Amino acid sequence: MKFSPVPIFIGFLAWFSFYCHAQFNLPLDSSAFVDTHTKPVVFQKKQTFAFPNGVGFSNDFPSARLNGIAQDNETTFTILIRPENSPINDSPWYAFKVWAGEDIMIRINLIYEHGNHRYWPKVSENGSDWRKIPREDYHSDALGTSFQIEVSADTLWVAAQEILPFQDASDWSDKLAGARNYVTKKIVGQSALGRPIIKLEENAPVNQNKILVISRQHPPEVTGYMAMKSFVETIWGQSDLAKEFRRRFDMIVYPMVNPDGVDMGHWRHNAGGVDLNRDWHFYRQPEVRAIFEDITRIVRKRGTKIYFGGDFHSTWSDLFYLNEQDTLAYIPGLIPEVLEGMALQIPDFEPDDRPGGYLSPTSKSWFYNYLHAAAVTYEVGDSTDREVIRERGKAAAVSLMKILLERVKK
């Protein structure tokens, strides 16, 4: 039989094309360009603030944010919240502990530099179980934000959202891997300050068909992180659908992309003062570069396809950012199909889908242009009921699994 070098040459061209594609920058809409070189940040001083009437405050714990405090009168305190640097997205994060020598009702005024109030305050006695400040005790308008709380010798946690620091992601990952013998936890790199970049995947990835999930690029966006957990736990669950899906698809998860920002109580950026979701072009920041290099290693294996890329975030209300163009995706139109599948599972659910640019330096554009994955940024509402978040995360996973099993032939 005569040997032909043509198939080998064509294969080499395909590999070389992908290699060059991986090594150099993707197309970028110049109007979307953001400078992601490392910038200075202001580290808040960790300390305890003690006042003569026995009231004390602390920002000395992971995810805390309290930059200054003044006592206005016996029972009123004004707290200053500054961002890590500016300009910055208008999503001020705050978190602190408070106590007193005896039971006392105090009023707290919040003032912000470079931002406006966003998050309804929440309190917890143990740092795990949270409740919103009652409406009658909370006031926020254009003139300012204040609320009253009763404090005692028992420490009370106060925060913009539930406090879920890096340790939560590490513990959750350990629990998943410990309870499921098919899941493993790996470290693929380090943040700017040396915190691990966690990756979860199947123990022995054998499927060329894959899906990709990331979360917590922006530190305060806790509700998106909650939805990500529900989504992942459903796909790595014990339902017949999940078991069938795992026989044909592997999942890759990076649960906390910005561990420094989370633990430092940042509003938006990493320790390099950069919005990581604007660095998916030059990969200047170590967190994005670690994930980029890890995924590149995976997709260079012949035949590997990542069909879906999901990035979980939070904003004022539940919505889904899609790429307005997805003709290069392995399954064009996949995300609208997934949303339709969610609507069939959840009564009265009408997904707010918003197609947008696909040449921005964001993960959503990168998933599409670099991996040819159908991509979505799932924005979960700040105040969405936590049980609804879990329900929708599960419904999204179920819908995606059903569609991929149907559309991707064995």
Over range 181-193, report the average pLDDT. 97
Report pLDDT for 18: 43
Report pLDDT for 354: 97
Is the pTM higher than 0.85? The answer reads yes
Write a three-state SS string for the chain: CCCCCHHHHHHHHHHHHHHHHHHCCCCCCHHHCCCCCCCCCCCCCCCEEECCCCCEEECCCCCCECCEEEEEECCEEEEEECCCCCCCCCCCCCEEEEECCCCEEEEEEEEECCCCCCCCCEEECCCCCCEECCHHHEEEECCEEEEEEEECCCCEEEECCCCCCHHHHHHHHHHHHHHCCCEEEEEEEECCCCCEEEEEEECCCCCCEEEEEEECCCCCCHHHHHHHHHHHHHHCCCCHHHHHHHHHCEEEEECCCCHHHHHCCCCCCCCCCCCHHHCCCCCCCHHHHHHHHHHHHHHCCCCCEEEEEEEEEEECCCEEEEECCCCCCCCCCHHHHHHHHHHHHCCCCCCCEEEECCCCCCHHHHHHHHHCCEEEEEEEECCCCHHHHHHHHHHHHHHHHHHHHHHCCC
Over range 220-226, report the average pLDDT. 98
Sequence-ordered list of residues with C-beta below 8 angstroms from that of 388, at least 6 positions apart, any chain = none
3.40.630.10, 3.40.462.10, 3.40.50.1980, 2.60.40.10: CATH of 164-407: 3.40.630.10
Report pLDDT for 2: 45
Report pLDDT for 8: 47
Q: Where are the domains of the chain?
A: 48-159, 164-407
Report pLDDT for 120: 98
Sequence-ordered list of residues with C-beta below 8 angstroms from that of 126, at least 6 positions apart, any chain = 157
CA distance 112 to 92: 7
Average pLDDT, the chain: 93
The encoded tokens of residue 254 equal 């990076």
Exposure pattern of 100-137 as b/e (b: 16+ CB <10 Å)?
beeeeebbbbbbbeebebbbbbbbbeebeebeebeeee
Report pLDDT for 30: 74
The encoded tokens of residue 317 equal 């209300």
**Model confidence at 1: pLDDT above 70:** no
**Model confidence at 279: pLDDT above 80:** yes
Report pLDDT for 204: 84
Greatest alpha-carbon pair distance for the chain in Å reads: 95
* 15: confidence class by pLDDT, cuts 50, 70, 90: very low
**Model confidence at 7: pLDDT above 60:** no
Over range 206-213, report the average pLDDT. 95
Query: In angstroms, what CA-CA distances link 1 with 4, 7, 9?
Result: 9, 15, 18
Q: How many C-alpha atoms does 341 have within 13 Å on its Cβ side? A: 19
Q: Which of 40-44, 192-196, 203-207 has the lowest mean pLDDT?
A: 203-207
Query: Across-strand partners of 49?
Result: 57
**Model confidence at 5: pLDDT above 80:** no
CA distance 169 to 309: 20
Q: Which of 24-28, 60-64, 162-166 has the lowest mean pLDDT?
A: 24-28
Task: Note the pLDDT tens digit of each residue in 114-155.
Answer: 999 999 999 999 999 999 999 999 999 999 999 999 999 999
367 contacts 328 by C-beta, under 8 angstroms: no
More confident residue, 13 or 323: 323
Over range 377-388, report the average pLDDT. 98
* 409: confidence class by pLDDT, cuts 50, 70, 90: confident
Q: How far is CA 273 from the centre of its chain?
A: 17
Over range 87-93, report the average pLDDT. 96
The encoded tokens of residue 296 equal 């590149």
Report pLDDT for 20: 44
**Model confidence at 24: pLDDT above 80:** no
* 11: confidence class by pLDDT, cuts 50, 70, 90: very low
* 25: confidence class by pLDDT, cuts 50, 70, 90: low
Report pLDDT for 174: 98
**Model confidence at 14: pLDDT above 80:** no
Over range 46-51, report the average pLDDT. 98
Over range 187-214, report the average pLDDT. 96
364 contacts 309 by C-beta, under 8 angstroms: yes
The encoded tokens of residue 118 equal 């966003």
Query: In angstroms, what CA-CA distances link 310 with 13, 196, 219, 250?
Result: 30, 21, 17, 14
Task: Note the pLDDT tens digit of each residue in 352-369.
Answer: 999 999 999 999 999 999
Architecture of domain 48-159: Sandwich (2.60)
Sequence-ordered list of residues with C-beta below 8 angstroms from that of 97, at least 6 positions apart, any chain = 57, 58, 59, 61, 64, 155, 156, 157, 158
Report pLDDT for 23: 37
Over range 196-220, report the average pLDDT. 95
